Amino acid sequence: CWHAQRKTLFVVGDEGDIGEFTTDGALVKQKCIRPSADFEGVTYDPATGLLYVAIEEAESIVEVDPETFEIRREFPLPRQFQGKTLLKAGGEGVEALTFVPDAKHAEGGVFYVGNQAFTLSDEEDISAVFQVELPLRSKTGKTRIMGYFEPGVIDMSALHYDPATDHILAVSDATNLILEYSRAHELLSVHAFPGDNQEGLTIDPEGFLYIAQDTGGIIKLKWLR
């Protein structure tokens, strides 16, 4: 993710690593903060500057201090919504994460969480983007799913909220597509997406798009709107 206050990029790896980089690729710092944890998405809250990392299989989100990389809190994700299992244990698991800030929201905003599924037929492990509320401000509230939408493609691997457009960008690794949605979850555009095993996505204020690849490396390109 792009961190507006620090003017740097944060990247996570699937062995519990987190790194901070400049936009030209220079390493600022790196640390393994939870060995063997499958980190699969990183975002931040612009009001506090704190980072949030999604952990696949554990199906949780950890809160991380960007300066020290200390884990402050952990929030297990619910697997059910309205009495129905949608994120079954032993499924492919959460793969994507972004935060949508909202000053009027009691918790400062909501998270969009992508569940990775390789079929559209499993009703208990759906390929979907979930809106999730965490007790970021209240400290005593519960983590809960607020709603979800189904893009209709498999392998949701990255999410990014773009404050410049107020749109949600979603990536399907298997189909090499980037899908652009309104906040009402209306599909606005679909584009072919470069890279190999694309599992991370962010955009900086200059309009550069960064694609983190699971095979290693970050692609930087100009996002031509």
What are 168-199's pLDDT values in tens digits?
Answer: 999 998 888 999 999 999 999 999 888 778 88
The residues, ordered by sequence, that sit 6+ positions from 127 with a Cβ below 8 Å of its Cβ are: 115, 116, 117, 119, 120, 150, 151, 152, 153, 154, 155, 156
- Measured distance between the N- and C-terminal CA atoms of the chain, rounded to whole angstroms: 19
Distances (CA, A) of 64 to 30, 34, 42, 51, 75: 13, 11, 10, 5, 12
Distance of CA 51 to the CA centre of its chain: 11
**Per-residue pLDDT averaged across 150-165, rounded?**
90
The confidence score (pLDDT) of residue 160 equals 97
- The pLDDT of residue 120 is above 90: no
**Per-residue pLDDT averaged across 160-164, rounded?**
95
The confidence score (pLDDT) of residue 225 equals 62
Which of the four pLDDT bands, split at 50, 70 and 90, describes residue 80?
A: confident
The confidence score (pLDDT) of residue 197 equals 86
The confidence score (pLDDT) of residue 159 equals 96
Helix/strand/coil (H/E/C) assignment for every residue in the chain: CEECCCCEEEEECCCCEEEEECCCCCEEEEEECCCCCEEEEEEECCCCCCEEEEEECCCEEEEECCCCCCEEEEEECCCEECCEECECCCCCCEEEEEEEECCCCCCCEEEEEEECCCCCCCCCECCEEEEEECCCCCCCCCCEEEEEECCCCCCEEEEEEECCCCEEEEEECCCCEEEEECCCCCEEEEEECCCCCEEEEEECCCCEEEEEECCCCEEEEECCC
Task: In whole angstroms, give the CA distance from residue 126 to residue 41.
Answer: 18
- The pLDDT tens digits for 10-28 are 999 989 999 999 999 999 9
**Per-residue pLDDT averaged across 214-220, rounded?**
88
- The pLDDT of residue 7 is above 80: yes
Indicate the average pLDDT of the chain: 91
- The pLDDT of residue 35 is above 90: yes
Which of the four pLDDT bands, split at 50, 70 and 90, describes residue 102?
A: very high
- The pLDDT of residue 92 is above 80: no
**Per-residue pLDDT averaged across 33-50, rounded?**
95
The confidence score (pLDDT) of residue 101 equals 97
- β-sheet bridge partners, residue 169: 160, 180
**Per-residue pLDDT averaged across 116-142, rounded?**
87
Distance of CA 53 to the CA centre of its chain: 8
Task: In whole angstroms, give the CA distance from residue 37 to residue 49.
Answer: 23
- The pLDDT of residue 223 is above 80: no
Q: What is the pTM of this model?
A: 0.94
- The pLDDT of residue 49 is above 80: yes
Percent of the chain residues topping a pLDDT of 70: 99
